[in-house]
A and B are shown apart, each in its own frame.
Chain A
């Protein structure tokens, strides 16, 4: 079964078409990167798939559940880390994780397991007693992404997870994301082409709400006659 399948998914804001008849399929366990310039429709697509925004028309199925009709079922099995850091400012790192576990209905044992897991993957144990607002941007982003994991989602949406981070913090996050590969389906949007190249199983390229390309890196290079995701991306976007 596909983890995600969209059928003519469309979103309009007044006279702007943010996403136009999107047909896309993402397999279970895959890390799928959605690329596009600003305003391409990546974030709107994520918002629809995570049930935050209702589509104007069309439908999408996440783990077999409709985003129009089964929002609650979907919310129980997914999580998201948006572009902006989303943490409770005056809570410590540990309290943030415990709070989010409670929001996800986790037991005490499950919460302890989640703490252990996120500490291992993101190294958050080093700052567990610090309040979120005292953390650097990199640590805040790590915490924000870690929170998206504590519910044990089957599908994880990462909307520009490394935006604004320095190169070291970005590489650390890549390593953390790599550790998650295969354990869940991950949908990643990013402006950093090297990030997509390093992490993705498959890539989708959007422009003006339309999907211009879907496939693996090899087929992307073959189609464009280029040797890197960045060159291929520029060629596809400029030609369409």
Chain B
């Protein structure tokens, strides 16, 4: 997904990194179930949690097999996303409304702009008419002078 808003892009890349970046999925050599799943789908966290749970059920006596340690990077990324949202006020304001609410707001702003433009147009017409009246008056008086003379 190609996003132009920098804040949204950062959050999106953390939660769902691009395919060319390091995948969240576990190494394919150590997996039996995830070897069939595509790498793109592994950007989500659930497959990794399932893999970790599977590892624990297969070898429950292994000390290194703890769900907390294996899901640490997920918590870290979630925490980073939270910080990014909290620090970026523009992003926070943008995400605080639903797209439908934003559509209404955008329609309202467009209407406001149209009114402003119409006001400016009216003002331009009035100035133009005033300047035309000013220009017309001397022209109507000028031809009278030679007649009087």
A binds B: no
Identify the A interface with B (CB < 8 A).
none
Identify the B interface with A (CB < 8 A).
none
